Structure 1
Amino acid sequence: MLRVSTRHRRPATKFGKYPTDQATSTTQIRRVEAHPVRQLRDRRLPRRTGFKMAVLRQICTLGYTPTRRRADPWQRQAGSPRAARVSGMTTSAPLAGRVALVTGASRRSAIGAAIVRRLIEDGAALLVHSWEPADGERSDPGGAEELVAELRAAGGNLVHVSADLADPATPARLVATARETFGRLDMVIANHARSTRQSLEQLTATEIDLTYAINTRATLGTAARLGDSWGVTPRARPGS
């Protein structure tokens, strides 16, 4: 905090405690008192509905110019080749020509089904994975097949594969099936997950291992196999 000797004090003005135009040894004082927030604090303006307008008036009085928001880059570069490519892109099917793998879409009224429907609307081709035994009492018998049939009737390009992700070979099988069916694979949406109803006292090592195998190992394995299909070699970070 800046301290000022009493002999340098001046009568308060509307711009603060000290006159900012005084040609004295108060250069630092002017720098501090010229700040609009400091002036508002000294004036003790009420922080009610008119507070923002008071701030704006103080800023304009001191000659400050409020920062303008940056313009949209596409508006600023409307004539650039990139903007022309984007403007020519069809927004109705932004994922046309792309292939996606969606795991865990075994019910017609769940998150996986919503993801599948949206990707089909965006023009992507899909490999839909499901494993109904994992849903237990919440299972929707025939849900995945009916979902695929519904979207195929609407013109969607998708196939269905039922497989247990607890099997270490399933991730490689899913990626291979997608590439064999569509010739490529661009993205993986890991929607699968396993949750347990066992309490902490009932939790067993078998349940922990099964949850890890599905939620962690299968997810990382699918991502790794996708990288292999792209020719990407996984590398560890330095020092890890």
Structure 2
Amino acid sequence: MTKLSVNINKIATLRNARGGNRPNVVQAAKDCERFGAEGITVHPRPDERHIRYQDVYDLKEVVTTEFNIEGNPTPDFLKLVKEVRPAQATLVPDAPDAITSNAGWDTIKHKDFLTDVIGELKELGIRTSIFVDPIVPMVEGAAAVNTDRIELYTEAYATNFLQNREEAVAPYLEAAIKAQEFGLGLNAGHDLDLDNLKYLHMTLPGLQEVSIGHALICDALYLGLENTIQLYLRQLK
């Protein structure tokens, strides 16, 4: 079974645009779980333009499914993760000024750094995942730093899906097979939606979790949050 983790960053973006606490991020996370989400994902950034660090502490108290914190492993981020101790920490090499994540780790170049960070987190019982492009040497490098899982960066798949879905998914299939060979768990995320999710799920062996935020929240504006979560869950069956 592939779990659906709902990224609630965009709910926080809407709240922050007006100030106050509407919509309430904590309540939204609880509702996502009530509507069927099997995990909650947040990606706090240094400028706190959407999820704030305090949100993460508040969410830790209420999330009953799998809590996944994504982010660049800066000292502040690592301090947050170590204090909250989520089920999973996903390490993403995004620059502070990046609008959204736009590349995976060079797991070979950053081998020593990733090995040290992952070791610290795993000592606390936190499952680790690292964001990688669908490139076999990067998957092999991920295995070398002792991560538990990788998260495949799926923007390229989503961009090319409508033109030729077989070609779009091919490097992801190769990466997924390589991950299985090394005993790595497999997650995926970025630009997945109701059009392209099912085919990815059907094609990749061992896909354990997808993290979806932007498209899901956009769909919820038209379809309602409960209905939208159910529609995404159907793509994973």
TM-score after normalising by structure 2: 0.27
TM-score, length basis structure 1: 0.27
Higher percent of residues as strand: 2
In our comparison, the structure showing a higher alpha carbon Rg is 1
Higher relative contact order (CA 8 A, sep 6+): 2
